[in-house]
Amino acid sequence: YIAYNLAIRMGLEYTPESRFVDVVINGEYQGNYLLTEKVELGKERINEDEANGGVLFELEVQIRHLADGCATCVVTNDGVHAMVKEPEVDTAEEQAALNAECLEYLNGIEDKLDQGYDVYSQYIDVPSFIDWYIVNELVKNYDAAFWTSTYCYRSEDGILHMGPVWDFDVCFGNQ
């Protein structure tokens, strides 16, 4: 809750709203939990139209998904494991085409990263990367090392944005 509110106060786009809830199942109290919005593309979430190029990625170093034959997973030239979370497509052929297009896009960005700020800032939203990093560093979020649940998205204009922030269950030294 603290981490999400920090992100909101810092102005990180599309930070999921959250609130505490008491959970009771069959009349038995199960505890107090943090209910959080889902990370997804949509008008009330990441407001990027997938029909116009919006794509949501989940980055992680856990390659377990590849071992399971993950149909939405790609690995970039620099070894970044990305799952294409959205848009969802109907056929294996459409998924393969989307994966290929996304892999080309991500590899293209990686190729620009060592060419200096004037170049890479044309392809990534630098402030979103900086702010995302600051929030995750301040709360000591273990998952922010791309362990799991690390999101970024391509906006309709083709720029890669970091975030929204997510998954603070192993932060503040809780791992």
* Residue 52: predicted pLDDT: 79
Count other C-beta atoms under 10 Å from residue 30's C-beta. Answer: 10
Residue 143 CA from chain centroid, whole number: 11
* Bigger pLDDT: 63 vs 169: 169
Mean pLDDT score of the chain, rounded to an integer? 91
Query: ω before 16 within 30° of 0 (cis)?
Result: no
Average pLDDT over residues 107-117: 96
Measured CA to CA, the distance from residue 44 to residue 151 in angstroms comes to: 17
pTM of the model: 0.89
How big is the CA angle at 154 (ends 165 and 61), to the nearest 5 degrees?
55
Element (H, E) at 29: strand 28-36
Element (H, E) at 134: helix 126-138
Q: What's the DSSP call for residue 109?
A: H
Tell me what percent of the residues of the chain surpass a pLDDT of 90.
73
Range of weakest confidence among 59-68, 72-81, 125-134: 59-68
